[in-house]
Structure 1
Amino acid sequence: MDDKLHAAARTGDTRLFQQRSSQENDEISQEIVQNYKEKDEIGTYDDTYFCRQAEDGSNIIHIALRHGHEQFVKEALERYFDLIFQKDSIGDTPLHVAARLQTPAALRFLQSSLHNGRNRDSVQNSEIENLRILAVSNSKGNTILHEAARTNNYETIRHLLYWSRYTGNIEGIACTNHNNENFLHLLARYATYTATSSSYSTKYSLMARELYISASCAYVRDKDGFTPVLRAVQCRRLRLANFLVNKFPESIKIFDNKYRTVLHHLSAALVIDVVDDSEDITPLLKKFIEFHGVCDFRLAQDEDGNTPLHLAIMNEDVSTTKFLMELCLREEERPELTIINKDGHSIFNLLSSKGHIATLIDMAEKLNYALTYMEERQRVDKMMMDSELYQAAIDSDVRIFREVSTNSSQYFTRTSLDGSSIIHIAVRHAKPETIMFLQHALRLFPHLISKPDSNGDTLVHLAAKCKTDFSADIISMYYGSVKEMKGVATNPSAVKNYKGSLAIHEALQADNLKAAKILLERSEFVATTRINDLEETPLHAYARYGSSRNGDAKGFLSTLFKKDKSAAYIRDNQGFTPLLRAAMSARFHVVKAILDDCPQSANLRDPNGRTFLHLVRFTGGEVDESLTDKFEQTGKQLFKYPEVDLQRLVQDNDGNTPLHYAIKTGNSIVAIVLTQRCLESRTRAELDLVNKEGATVSDLLAAHDVPNEVIELIRKKEPEAVYSARSSYGIHKTDMKYSANALSVVAGLLTTITFAAGIQVPGGFNEDDGSSVLLLKPAFQAFIVFNTFAMCGSMLVLFYLLWVMGIGKIHGSLMVLDLSIFVLRACFYSTLGAFTTGVYVTTSEKSFWLAIFVCVICFLTIFVTIKVSVANITRLGKWVSKSSRMMLSLIRGRYNAHMTAIPFQPVANKDKVDVIVESKAP
C-alpha cells in the first residue's frame, strides 16, 4: 500500500474510489479533475491497487475502522466485499477489529457485512458467506463472537446471536478457539461490569432471549476441563455464573479434569468481580448456593481429597471460608470436619497452619467454641451426672454406692460438663477419704481407670498435677489397681492427654516431685526418654517449669540420672537440651543439679550455635536482682565447672561470645558475672574477639545500655576499652552530638543567670561613684568571686561544646565532654555559693538566723549532690526500709501469738451475741 491509499483510508477520503478504472467509470468528472489539479497527478487505479496491504498487514477497511470513517468503510465494502476476510499480521480481519470496537459505526459495519453476505447471488452462497463471516478466526482461533465477548461488547454479542437465530445458522456460534473455548468461556473469563445488580440485569437480560440457541456452548469444556459456569466461578464472576446456571441448570453438575465442582472453584478463586473491595459478597454466595444441587457439593472431594472448605482455607479466602463454615455448623452431622485430604490434613489442621492470618485463627477459635458448646449440650441432654452424684464425688462419700444400685453402671459413669467422671472430681477435691472412694469406684467400674476427661486427662494425670498431700498415695493406689485389672487399663505411664503429655510431664510441670519420683520408679519402661508432642522429655518439662529448692531438685535429678543419663543430652523440637532450656527459664537450681551429674552437657549448643552461657539468665523467682553479692556468688558457683568456664570464648553463628550476647540482649546480670570472670582471667580474650558485625565488646558498650557495674569493672582493668566507647560519665560515642547540644543549653542558661547576677549586684550601687554599696564586705567579695567563676566556667563549657560538635575524633571528643561536665558541675556549685553569699550579705545585719538558715540549706544541697553522698544516702534508705519491714513483721508476729494464746470463752447468752452481731452488720 502506497502513502496515497494509506492517507485516504486514514482520513476517510472517498474521492480516491472515483479514480477506479472500470467500464462504468471511464471518464473522470470535471469537478474531480479540478479538485486534483493543484495537489495530485490524475490517474486511474485497478482493483488490485485497492486490495493492497500496509506494512502491518492492514487493508483500507482495517485502517478506516480504527479511525472511525464510516462512509469510507461503507463504500469500500460495496466495492470490495472480500476485503473483510483479509487478515493483518496478527491474523485479525476487519470483522475482528469491528467486534472489539464498542462504537455504533463498528456495529453498523458488522450488520452491513452480514446483510451483504446474505444478499449474494444465491441462497446457498449466502449461507456459506454468513457461516464464513461468523467462523472466520484470527491467529488465536478467536471468531468475531470471541472477540466481542473478550472485550465485553454486549451489544455486538446480542446482535450476532440474534442474526444466527434469524438465519438459522448456529454453527458459527459454537466455534471454539485454540484453547477449545467458545464465546461463553471468554465472557466468563473477561467479563467486567459494575457491582450493582441493576447493571447486571440490564446487560445480561439483553442476551437472555438469544442464548437458548447456544445451549450446547454451556456444556463444552475447554482444554482445562472448565465449562463456562466453572470458569465464571473460578474467576469470581458470580453474577454471570448465576445467570448461566439460571439458563442452563444442568451445566452445574459438570466437574473439571481434577474432579472439582463449582464449590471447589468458588473456594479457590483469587479475584472478585466488584468495583469496591469493601462490598460484602455474602449475598451473592447465598444466592449461588440456593441452586439445586450446589449445596450437595460441600462434601465432594477433588483428586487431592480436598473439599471446598479445605480449598478455601488453603487459599486463605476468608469470606468463603466463613460462609462454608456457617453452612457446615447448621448441619447436625457436620461431616466436613472429619474429612481428611490426601496429605492427611483435616479442617482443624489447615486452620492451625494459618497462624499469620488473624481472621482465620479467630475463626478456628470460634469453631472450637461452637463444637465444644454443642458437645456440652449433648452431654447435658444425654449423660450429665446429677447433683447428688456430683456432690458425693466432691465429698468422696462412699455411701453413694450403697444408696444407689451398683447395677446401674450407666448412672455412675455419667460425666460433668467438662467430661469429668466421679474419679476425676474426687481427685481434684482430694481428701483423706478419697483413696477409699477411688478403690470402691474402680472395683465396681474398672473401666473408669482409663477414661479421660475433655482435656484427655486420666486419673493419673490429675493426681500428678494436683500437688496435694494425697497425690502420691493416689498414684500408688492407681498402680495397685492397674496390676489387679490386667487387660482393663493400659500402662498408666504411657497414656498421653490431649496436650500430648505423659503423667510424669504433668507432675514435673506442677513441680510435684513426690508424684514424679513414684512415676519414675514404678514405670515399666524408660520414662526419662519418653517425649510429649513438643518432643520434650520429662527433664525438659522440669527444666522449663521446676521451681523446687536446690536440695529437692538435686535429689530428684540424681534419681533420674541413675535411671538414664542420656536424658540430659536429648533435644526438644526447638533443638534445646534440658540444660539449655533450664538456662533460658532462669531455673538455676535445675541448672546446677544437671551440671553436678552431667557437666559435659554444657558443651552442647542450640541450633543458633549458642551455648549454655549464651542463654543463661538469673532473673526470675529464684534470684533477687537487687542483691549484687548473690550474683557474684552465683557466678563463682557456675565457673567451678571446667566445662562451663571453657564456654566463655565460644562464638555463636553470629560470632558473639556469651559476653557479647549478654550485652546485646540487655541481660545485665549475666553481663556483670561474665565481665567479672573475664577480668579475673589472665588473657581477657573476650574483650578482643570480634563478631560478624565487626564489633568488639568495646563497640557494644558504646551502642547498648550496659549496667554501670560492667563499665566500672572494665574501666579499672582496661580503661582504654571504655574510653574509646563512652565517657567517664557514661555518654555513648553515638550520643556525643545529642549530649553536647543538651549541655550547651544548660551552660547557656547558667551564663545568662550569672551575667544578670553580676550586673544587678545585691545591695545596689552608690549614686555618687556607681560602686557597689556592699563592696567592702567580705561576704560580698566572696559573692563576686563565686559568680565570676560560674560565669567564666559556663562560657568555657560553651567553647568546649562548640569544639566537640565540630571535631571528628571520638576519643578526644569524649574527653572534652567529660571535662565540660566537670567544669559545669563546678559552675553549679559556684552559682549556689554566689547565691548563698549574696543572700547572707543582704540579710545578716537585720536577721542573722535567716542568713544562717540559707547557708545551711545551700550547703546541704551541695552535699547531697556529691556522688559519695548519694551512694551513702541510698544505702541509708535501704537500711531504713529493711528495718521498717523487720519491725512490722516482728510486731505482727507478737500480735498473732498473743491472739492465739487467748482462750476461747463460750458465750452464755446466744441471743445477746446475735443482737450484737446484727447491730454491727452493715
Structure 2
Amino acid sequence: MEVKKILEAAATGDVAILNEISHLTNAVNLLCSTVDEGANNIIHIAVKNDREIFIGKALQMVPQILLCKKNNKGRNVFHLAAERGHKQIVEALADSFHRAAKVPHTGQEEEVRVEIGSDQPPWIERDLKGVNPLHIAIKGDHQEVAMYLLSLDPLELICDACDEDGGSPLYLAIEKGWEEAALKMLEVKDIPYNQPNYRNPLSVAPYCSEKVFKKLLKEYPTLAKKNNKRQEIFLHEWVDEVENHKPDALKWLSQDDPTLPDWSNVLKRVICHKNNFGNNPLHIAARVGYVEAAELLVGAYSQGQDQGEGEDQPPWLQQNKYGATPLLMALEHRQEAVALCLLKVDPASQCKIASKSKESPLFLAVQNRCVKVAKEMIKSHKRWNVHDVALHTGPNKQNPLHVASNCSDIADVLTRSYPEWAESQDINGNTPLDKAAKAGNMELIKSLMECSGSENAPKAWIKACEGGHTKAILEFISIQYGRSGFLELYEQQTDTPLHHICLKCEKEYDEFFSIPEVETLKDKKDKDGATPLHRAIERKDEYLLKYYYVKDSMCKRLGLNPRIRTSYVQPKTNLGEMRGTMSVVAALLATITFAAGIQVPGGYKNSLEYAALGRKGAFLVFLISDTYAMCCSLLVLFCLIWAMGLDPDKSLLLIDLSVTILQHSLVGTLLAFMTGVFVVVSHETLWAAIVVIFMCSLVPFIAYKKILLKLLQKFIPTAQ
C-alpha cells in the first residue's frame, strides 16, 4: 500500500485504511515505518489533526511502539498532544501505553521497541531543546493537560526537566500563577532547582501565591541565595518586575513564619546582596521608584540589631561600582518619593557619601530638580550636624549653585543657606553667576547678585548675551552697574553686549535696540578694533545684520554688505593688492602646467613622436591632473580680469571664489608632480618614488588652515 495514502488517511481520520492494513502480515512494520518528511508517523499526524477515533484504532494495532517514536525535532506524540491541549487524546495515549506495558510483546513489536531504544514512559521524554510534554502544556496555557500529566508516574522525572532557557516545569507553572500545579510539583523532593542551569522559581513567586512562596523556601532554602547570570538573587527580580506582580507580594518577606528557621537573618543577607553592578535590591527600588519596596526593605533590615553575616554596612549606605548609594541612585533617576523615604533613616551618614564622579546627594537633588529633597536636606543639615565637604561637590569642582538654574525654586534657599558657594569657581573658572547668566535664570541671577555681587564674575553679562537672554542683560545693566555705570564698564573692558548678543528674531533685536544705552553702543569697537557689525558677520547672525543693513546706515558708512557671505576674503581687505598677487600666482601655475604637458615624463618615441609611457596608468593620472591644474589657473586669471570692471560687492565674491579655484590648481599641480616622478623613477628606484609621494601627500594636510595655525602656535611661540 502507498505510504502517501496511509499518511492522508491519518490526516483525515480515515479508519478504513487501518482495517485494510490489519489483514497484512507485516502490519506493525508497515505502520511503524510510514513517516512523512519530518519523520512524523501516523499517530503524530492524527494528533496534529485531532483525529481521536483514528488514534484509538491505530493504538489497538501498535500501542506502545508508535507512542515512543520521535520526529525530526525529537518530539513524540505526547509533545504534540500537549501542544494541541487535547486532554482526551493525552488520556487515551497514556491509557494505551499502560495497557501495552502489561501485555507481552510480539516478535515484531519487540524488534521495533529495541530499535527505538527507550524503556521510559513517553510523557517524560525530552525533545532536542530539552522540553518535555509538561513544559509544552504549561507554556500553551493548557492547565488541564498539565495537571493530568502531573498525575502520571514517575512525577520526579517529569518535574526534573529543564529547557534551553533554564525553565523547569515548576518555574513555568509559578510564572503562570498555577498554584495547584506548583504545589503538586513541590511534593517531589530533591529536585536540583539550585543548579546553575535552572532558573530560580523563587524569582517568579509573586506571580503565584504566598503559600507557594513559603513552600519553596521551606523545601529549598538555598533558592534564597541562588544567583542568575547577572549575580542577582530573587529579591532583585521581585523589585525590578514590580508592575507585573501581585500588589502585596513584598509583604510576604516581612511576615515571620515558624516553618522558616532564621528567616530574619536570611532576609537581611538577601537585602544586602549585590549584583554584577554592585546594586543591592534597595538600589533597584530606588531606580524604578518603588516606594513601598524601599520602605519594606529598610524596615525589614532595621527590625533586628544584627546586620547580617559578612556585611559591614546597612543596604542604604552600600555603594555600587559607580559609587552610588540607593539615595544617589534615586536622585539620579528623579525618584523623589524614594529619596524622601530613604532620608528617614540615618540621613547624616547618607548625605556624607558622594559618588565616584563626586556628585553629592544635595548636588544631584538640585541638578535633577528634586525640590522637596533639596529643601529637606538644607533644612535639616543643622539638625543632622552635617558639614562635610562632600555636600559641596559636583563634577569639575562645581557646587549645587552651579546647577541651580535647573531648579529655580531652590535658588533663594541655597544662596541664603550657603552664601560662600556663590563665590566659588568650577574647573573652567565659571562661578554660579556665570552659569545662571548663560541659562538666563532671572531668579537665580537676582539671588546671586544680592548675595555676592559680580566681583567674582565680571564677564557674566557676556554669558547672558551669548545665550540671547535680554532680560538677564537688562538685569546686569540696571541692577548691577546702573545705566551710567554700565557705559563706564564698557570703557574699562572695551566690550559691549552687541559684540556678543545672539537673539532669535528681528523683533527681539528691535526691542533690544530700543534701550537707549544699547543704541549708543552700536558703533563702538572692542579691543581688536571690531564693531558689533564685524562680530555679527563673523558669527553669521542674519537678524542683527539685517538690522544694521535695513534700519541703520552703518553698513553703508563702513562700506559693508551684510548679505555677502565670503569664505576667505574679509570685507575690508585691500582687493587690489590681493588681485595682483593672485594673478601672478595663477599665471605662474598656468605656465608650469602648460610646460609639463608639452614636455611629458619619459619623452617621446623618436620615430613615431608619441609619449613613450602613454600606456602607463600613472602617466594618465599625471596628464589629467596637470590639465585640471592648468584649467583652474586659467579660470582664476579670467575671474580676476572680470573682477577689475565690476562693482565692489561682485568683485569681492569673484576674488573669494578665485581663492577656492586656486587651491584646486595647487592640489592638481602637486598630484601631477607626484605621478610624473613615479612613472619615470619607480621602475628603477621604487623607494625614492614612494618617499616623494609620501612627502608631497603631507603638504595638503599641513597646509589646511586650522592645522597650519596650530603648528605655528606650537613651534613659533610669537605666532600666538
CA distance change for structure 1 residues 680 and 136 in 2, over 3 Å: closer, same or farther? same
1:579–1:601 contact (8 Å) kept in structure 2: no
1:78 maps to what in 2? 60
2:213 maps to what in 1? 242
The alpha-carbon deviation at position 16 of structure 1 amounts to 1.5
The alpha-carbon deviation at position 368 of structure 1 amounts to 5.1
1:580–1:615 contact (8 Å) kept in structure 2: no
1:213 maps to what in 2? 188
CA distance change for structure 1 residues 269 and 498 in 2, over 3 Å: closer, same or farther? same
Matched AA of 1:62: H
Distance (Å, rounded) in 2 between the aligned partners of 1:353 and 1:242: 33
SS at 1:98 equivalent = helix
1:297 maps to what in 2? 270
Alignment of 1:480-559 (within 5 A): 499=401, 530-532=424-426, 536-537=430-431, 540=434
CA distance change for structure 1 residues 110 and 542 in 2, over 3 Å: closer, same or farther? closer
The alpha-carbon deviation at position 15 of structure 1 amounts to 1.9
Alignment of 1:379-418 (within 5 A): none
CA distance change for structure 1 residues 117 and 2 in 2, over 3 Å: closer, same or farther? closer
Matched AA of 2:239: S
Distance (Å, rounded) in 2 between the aligned partners of 1:650 and 1:369: 56
1:264–1:307 contact (8 Å) kept in structure 2: yes
1:640 maps to what in 2? 524
2:537 maps to what in 1? 649
Distance (Å, rounded) in 1 between the aligned partners of 2:185 and 2:446: 81
CA distance change for structure 1 residues 369 and 302 in 2, over 3 Å: closer, same or farther? closer
The alpha-carbon deviation at position 72 of structure 1 amounts to 1.4
2:68–2:118 contact (8 Å) kept in structure 1: no
The answer on 1:323 being equivalent to 2:296 is no
The answer on 1:103 being equivalent to 2:86 is yes
1:700 maps to what in 2? none
SS at 1:109 equivalent = helix
TM-score scaled by structure 2?
Answer: 0.53
Distance (Å, rounded) in 2 between the aligned partners of 1:9 and 1:326: 60
2:286–2:327 contact (8 Å) kept in structure 1: no
Alignment of 1:706-855 (within 5 A): none
State which structure, 1 or 2, has the greater radius of gyration over its C-alpha atoms.
1
Distance (Å, rounded) in 2 between the aligned partners of 1:6 and 1:366: 68
Distance (Å, rounded) in 1 between the aligned partners of 2:210 and 2:171: 14
1:419–1:454 contact (8 Å) kept in structure 2: no
1:62 maps to what in 2? 44
The alpha-carbon deviation at position 306 of structure 1 amounts to 0.3
The answer on 1:676 being equivalent to 2:568 is no
Distance (Å, rounded) in 1 between the aligned partners of 2:229 and 2:6: 52
The answer on 1:150 being equivalent to 2:44 is no
Q: Which has the higher contact order (CA 8 A, sep 6+)?
A: 2
The alpha-carbon deviation at position 115 of structure 1 amounts to 0.7
The alpha-carbon deviation at position 268 of structure 1 amounts to 2.8
SS at 2:67 equivalent = helix
The alpha-carbon deviation at position 78 of structure 1 amounts to 2.6
2:544 maps to what in 1? 659
The answer on 1:51 being equivalent to 2:33 is yes
1:259 maps to what in 2? 231
Distance (Å, rounded) in 2 between the aligned partners of 1:92 and 1:211: 26
CA distance change for structure 1 residues 542 and 290 in 2, over 3 Å: closer, same or farther? closer
The alpha-carbon deviation at position 76 of structure 1 amounts to 1.4
Identity %: 15
1:164 maps to what in 2? 153
2:549–2:562 contact (8 Å) kept in structure 1: no
- What is the number of equivalent residue pairs in this alignment? 475
CA distance change for structure 1 residues 9 and 646 in 2, over 3 Å: closer, same or farther? same
1:176 maps to what in 2? 162
Distance (Å, rounded) in 2 between the aligned partners of 1:297 and 1:344: 20
The alpha-carbon deviation at position 182 of structure 1 amounts to 3.2
Distance (Å, rounded) in 1 between the aligned partners of 2:97 and 2:186: 19
Matched AA of 2:76: T
SS at 2:520 equivalent = helix
Q: Is there any run of 5+ residues in structure 1 with no aligned partner, and where?
A: 27-43, 194-202, 274-280, 376-415, 422-447, 458-494, 503-508, 511-515, 521-526, 562-566, 605-610, 661-670, 691-922
CA distance change for structure 1 residues 288 and 336 in 2, over 3 Å: closer, same or farther? closer
2:636 maps to what in 1? none
CA distance change for structure 1 residues 538 and 647 in 2, over 3 Å: closer, same or farther? same
The alpha-carbon deviation at position 97 of structure 1 amounts to 0.5
CA distance change for structure 1 residues 675 and 342 in 2, over 3 Å: closer, same or farther? farther
The alpha-carbon deviation at position 542 of structure 1 amounts to 8.6
CA deviation vs aligned residue, 1:872-908 (integer Å, no higher than 9, x gap): xxxxxxxxxxxxxxxxxxxxxxxxxxxxxxxxxxxxx
2:318–2:325 contact (8 Å) kept in structure 1: yes
Q: 2:280 aligns with which of 295, 303, 307?
A: 307
2:611 maps to what in 1? none
1:582–1:588 contact (8 Å) kept in structure 2: no
1:4 maps to what in 2? 5
1:61–1:83 contact (8 Å) kept in structure 2: yes
Distance (Å, rounded) in 2 between the aligned partners of 1:18 and 1:538: 95
1:473 maps to what in 2? none
Alignment of 1:262-277 (within 5 A): 262-269=234-241, 272=244
Alignment of 1:844-883 (within 5 A): none
Distance (Å, rounded) in 2 between the aligned partners of 1:57 and 1:519: 83
The alpha-carbon deviation at position 264 of structure 1 amounts to 0.8
SS at 1:139 equivalent = coil
CA deviation vs aligned residue, 1:309-359 (integer Å, no higher than 9, x gap): 212343x3x4x443223542684899333221111122232222324xxxx
TM-score scaled by structure 1?
Answer: 0.43
Distance (Å, rounded) in 1 between the aligned partners of 2:28 and 2:100: 23
CA distance change for structure 1 residues 102 and 352 in 2, over 3 Å: closer, same or farther? same
2:537–2:562 contact (8 Å) kept in structure 1: yes
Distance (Å, rounded) in 2 between the aligned partners of 1:186 and 1:420: 54
Matched AA of 2:248: P
1:418–1:453 contact (8 Å) kept in structure 2: no
The alpha-carbon deviation at position 519 of structure 1 amounts to 9.6
CA distance change for structure 1 residues 212 and 594 in 2, over 3 Å: closer, same or farther? farther
CA distance change for structure 1 residues 296 and 338 in 2, over 3 Å: closer, same or farther? same
2:501 maps to what in 1? 612
The alpha-carbon deviation at position 64 of structure 1 amounts to 1.2
1:161–1:211 contact (8 Å) kept in structure 2: no
The alpha-carbon deviation at position 133 of structure 1 amounts to 1.8
The answer on 1:192 being equivalent to 2:176 is yes
SS at 2:176 equivalent = coil
Matched AA of 1:245: L
1:20–1:47 contact (8 Å) kept in structure 2: no
CA distance change for structure 1 residues 260 and 241 in 2, over 3 Å: closer, same or farther? farther
The answer on 1:348 being equivalent to 2:327 is yes
The alpha-carbon deviation at position 227 of structure 1 amounts to 2.3
2:712 maps to what in 1? none
1:6–1:60 contact (8 Å) kept in structure 2: yes
Distance (Å, rounded) in 1 between the aligned partners of 2:333 and 2:428: 19
Distance (Å, rounded) in 1 between the aligned partners of 2:53 and 2:41: 16
Distance (Å, rounded) in 2 between the aligned partners of 1:139 and 1:214: 26
CA deviation vs aligned residue, 1:397-427 (integer Å, no higher than 9, x gap): xxxxxxxxxxxxxxxxxxx985559xxxxxx
SS at 2:47 equivalent = helix
2:74 maps to what in 1? 91
The alpha-carbon deviation at position 73 of structure 1 amounts to 0.8
The answer on 1:228 being equivalent to 2:212 is no
